[in-house]
Amino acid sequence: MKRLVGLATLALAACGANPSATPAGVAKRTTIDFAKVANYSAPTLPAYFDRTVAALDHSPASNPIDDRVATLGRILFYDLRLSTNDRASCAACHQQAIGFTDSMRFSNGISSAATTDFHAMRLGNLRYWKPGSTFWDRRAASVEAQASHPFHSLVEMGWGGAAGGFDALTRKMAATDYYPDLFAWAFGDKAITEPRIQQALAQFVRAMVSSASRWDTGYAKVFSPAAPDRGLGEDLPNLTAEENRGRHLFMTDAAKGGAGCSSCHLPPTFALAANARSNGLDRGETRLFKAPSLRSVGLTGPYMHDGRFSTLAEVVDFYDHGIQDGPALDDRLRQGARPRRMKLNAADRAALVAFLMTLSDPALTTDARFSDPFRR
């Protein structure tokens, strides 16, 4: 990727342009400053985001995060012009202020007359789902592959069928006064292609690392890489008694009197375990689902792939006594041959909700690197 940056610099220089000068079209449309590239590739992370966490990162060697390419991804993520009618963008369904999800059960795209089939997933710590597949039903093999789906969707960005697909989209982009210069800056030449759009969007989304919640503040004080549980069993000094009770239930195995949540939702990223199966929402389920990280889960509902639950209290109630049996049910949600029934009392269920609220990350939801770069 450093080679790409070098090529981009050479390309701009060959055109007689100052590589650090923002082209007029880019400056007119966006707040991007070519001389001050945001840091996406080397964020400062807590000590517990160490090799243990890095081993879960599914970022491919073929698409390492580069600051310029990720910056292009930011612009692509927010650009309404990438839809057929200039109405929809990735950010329309994945809103920064609420953890890059949507408060609607199903999202609108180019028209309010149609909605998506699934609820929009939160995006923080997406890079730590080790298999790398995306969507609730895991149908896309990678974040790069996923990036194309909304564009081909007739509901989301609208380029499917008679609309012309990526050929029509890239022609529209090439006709703007900012994308040719942006692609040259990021990749070394002005070619706008589907693989490059995939690369840029995937880099931007993978850069959304969540590590600044109240839980993080407390865990940083008790983290011990030498401890068998890395300090996850310790009460956190900045949490209330109720929140620490919820933390204990979350982190403690069900066989030891806890709720066992952390066996599937792995701290410190709270992304899903690689071997997780389905959670028993419906009897007889055969599909294997994935879930987003629980970071910022408390910012808004609804919850689950179909948004059937409006509140975290409903989610906790489901895991307490509502899990249904089926071929795809994860073994961690079984008690012998039957779905698990925790039968927690009301206070413990409320404590779990209180703990989940401590995972909200005000830094990610306000970070300028992930905000709308357009001059509206």
Residue with tokens 């995972």: 359
| pLDDT of 360 higher than 90 | yes
- Distance between CA atoms of residues 118 and 104, nearest Å: 11
pLDDT at position 17 is: 52
Q: Would you place residue 168 in the very low, low, confident or very high pLDDT band (cuts 50, 70, 90)?
A: very high
Q: Using alpha carbons only, how large is the chain's radius of gyration in Å?
A: 22
Fold classified for 2-209: Cytochrome Bc1 Complex; Chain D, domain 2 (1.10.760)
Domains in the chain: boundaries: 2-209, 214-357
pLDDT at position 18 is: 62
What DSSP character marks residue 30?
B
- Distance between CA atoms of residues 90 and 74, nearest Å: 10
pLDDT at position 15 is: 46
Strand pairing report for 265-266 and 271-272: antiparallel
| pLDDT of 16 higher than 50 | no
- Distance between CA atoms of residues 315 and 322, nearest Å: 9
pLDDT at position 113 is: 87
- pLDDT, tens only, 235-256: 999 999 999 999 999 999 998 9
Q: Would you place residue 312 in the very low, low, confident or very high pLDDT band (cuts 50, 70, 90)?
A: very high
Q: Give the pLDDT mean for 310-330.
A: 98
Q: Give the pLDDT mean for 316-344.
A: 96
- Its CATH architecture, for the domain 214-357, is Orthogonal Bundle (1.10)
Phi, psi of 55, deg, nearest 5: -65, -15
| pLDDT of 7 higher than 90 | no
State the sign of the Cα–Cα–Cα–Cα dihedral 157, 158, 161, 165: negative
How many CB atoms within 10 Å of residue 363? 13
- pLDDT, tens only, 50-83: 999 999 999 999 999 999 999 999 999 999 999 9
| pLDDT of 99 higher than 90 | yes
